[in-house]
A and B are shown apart, each in its own frame.
Chain A
């Protein structure tokens, strides 16, 4: 990375609650691995994208701090517990505050972060305040994906306008989700369009995924 280029921070908020046990969590592990390898193969993403993973079950934890792709180490992911989405959103806000460089008179700030939330259930903690905060202050471009029949899209709609739904938690669907995240990051790192305030462009969602209106 050149000394004057900006970073594109990318946060993955991954649901690792009990319902993700077994095949789904394995598919998520595989997805993160594929995502990193895919992004390392794209020169623009490799130069600009920095990746962090926040997981949530009964509590939220940043398992990987914001890291450049070449130094990214695959986190240990295991599933079990409840769905503390509220805690995850609060942690996300904290991480953005502490890790993302702000634009100042003396510093070139980072790009607005990209956040991908993947959840398969309904939150079990207090999430409203944290969601409202994110929606109003917009510290990042947030894309939420509701996975499977039990995910609550109305909750996600309280966090961001951009909500996707996939019908199953199958390995195939999860793989497609991570492939789509990777093309979204690639596309964003290329077209970081210098139009201030413009909406970011994302590739069309994979087949079988529905954009929740």
Chain B
């Protein structure tokens, strides 16, 4: 039988919640839902462990470090209505402290798209269950209907959104400290993800939370030193660099549906526990380590090479150079930017039954989908090479990134100007788009200012540039405007 409880918030407001017999319980807290399920009230498993450090930390998280409310309403510095709204979709950020009947927090309920609906599986009754990532990235995939699985492009998009969310935390000096498959819900169908369990963040200047982390996502140095006393300087505790390990693991799992460290290598025959400890901790070895293949599964079909050089390098830094050397791990911003650039190289596979539907077309000499082996043969590959002017060297241009172009490919400000990044602040107004008409290619200006034709004449909005192999033009004549070189292969 359920009863209605009442939580008193720190500002004196009272909110109702439904008390159930076996509330869902995580490692730290258990959860009751609002009568209308629009928010949750969470209490701690060990109320006697709540101290001033913890309440001070939660106050800071809910208030001055909160990117989901504008600065004018007590949220994070620099946060305005638009950014607050954007990050409300990226995080399930706690909104209030509960002071009675006992200490707890109120958080928004997860958005609906992160719960399975009616037709998620033919084998399991998943309706209403939350979309933890290992439904999608493990063998459990086989129980889900195809319509739930998304494709490679939606997995890249989720990786990008997650990197952006983590970059936002780190930018404020925060660390999640327990980033894992359980704490990021994903919806591959729409390419969306949301970071949850925000209450154990590491907040600058305040005592860090006592979280152990989750198996498979704990950074090797944290696991290796877990047994040491908390006052021992050798003991490594969760921080932004340990988040960066977990972030790389999650991205790797989204893109490959396998774990980057769990391979065939046996680290100890003494016990499963010892073997696991060594293989995820002090002796952790990337399954795709190019120099030591002892943990490499024989069955690897697609590898980090198939993601193109940008992501390949990031993964090598995360899991080879930085695996046991935390400062070398790529930052969340590097992941975000690398994924944005990789997004521009995504190419739709021409095989209609290709499971992944998209792939990274980086090798234009050998344009083959790595997932199904289909070769692009039915049409030309059109490339925009985006160049920025080297500062202080007028007329000297350097390749900045590339864009794989098909009919209707949109161009945004970040394709036109070298100083605009495709982040949450970017202007998403369409600047121009590509059009293929009777076998001829055009770039049509919609809103871009200062676009120049190959001959250097202004191309106002509404006008087009005809493009062919070798065409070179200024996307924008402004200071940091890109020079676009067209390649048709």
Contact = CB atoms under 8 A, between A and B. Distances in A.
Interface of A: 1-6, 37, 40-41, 43-44, 46-47, 70, 103-112, 176, 179-180, 183, 187, 190-197, 201, 203-204, 206
A205 to B, nearest CB: 12
A196 B22 contact: no
Nearest to B139: A1
Given A70-B123, A191-B27, A204 B45 contact: yes
Interface stretch (B258-266, B408-416, B447-455): B258-266
Contacts of A47: 134, 138-140
B343 interface: no
Interface stretch (B31-39, B271-279, B481-489): B271-279
Interface string B1-43: 0000000000000000000011001010000000000000000
A107 B266 contact: yes
Contacts of A195: 226-227, 273, 277
Contacts of B25: 183, 187, 203
B459 to A, nearest CB: 52
Given A191-B27, A203-B45, A111 B272 contact: yes
Interface of B: 21-22, 25, 27, 45, 123-126, 129, 132, 134-135, 138-140, 143, 181-182, 212, 214-215, 218, 223, 226-227, 258-259, 262-264, 266, 268-277, 280-281, 297, 299
A4 B265 CA distance: 9
Chain B: interface secondary structure?
loop
A2 B22 contact: no
Given A1-B139, A206-B22, A6 B272 contact: yes
A2 B258 contact: yes
Contact of B139 (A2, A187, A206): A2
Contact of B215 (A179, A180, A190, A197): A190
A70 B262 CA distance: 23
14 contacts: A37-B125, A41-B125, A44-B132, A47-B134, A103-B268, A108-B264, A176-B21, A179-B21, A183-B22, A190-B27, A192-B215, A194-B277, A195-B277, A196-B273
A194 B270 CA distance: 13
Contacts of B264: 3-4, 108
A1 B214 CA distance: 18
Contacts of B266: 103-108
B324 to A, nearest CB: 16
B186 to A, nearest CB: 12
A190 B259 CA distance: 15
Contacts of B280: 194
Nearest to A206: B22
Contacts of B226: 195
Contacts of A1: 138-139
Chain A: interface secondary structure?
loop
B269 A104 contact: yes
Given A179-B22, A190-B182, A195-B227, A112 B273 contact: yes
A183 B27 CA distance: 11
Contacts of B269: 103-105, 109
A110 to B, nearest CB: 6
A44 B134 contact: yes
A170 B124 CA distance: 30
A70 B132 CA distance: 18
B297 A193 contact: no
B277 A191 contact: no
Q: With a 10 A CB-CB cut-off, give which of B126, B218, B277 has the most chain A CB atoms.
A: B277
Nearest to A104: B269
Contacts of B297: 3-4
B212 A193 contact: yes
Q: With a 10 A CB-CB cut-off, give which of A40, A176, A201 has the most chain B CB atoms.
A: A40
A91 B129 CA distance: 37
B45 A46 contact: no
A205 B139 CA distance: 31
A104 to B, nearest CB: 5
A207 B302 CA distance: 50
Contact of A109 (B143, B212, B275): B275
A37 B263 CA distance: 30
B132 A43 contact: yes
Contact of B262 (A4, A107, A190, A201): A4
A155 to B, nearest CB: 28
B123 A194 contact: no
A46 B25 CA distance: 17
B214 to A, nearest CB: 7
A192 B271 CA distance: 13
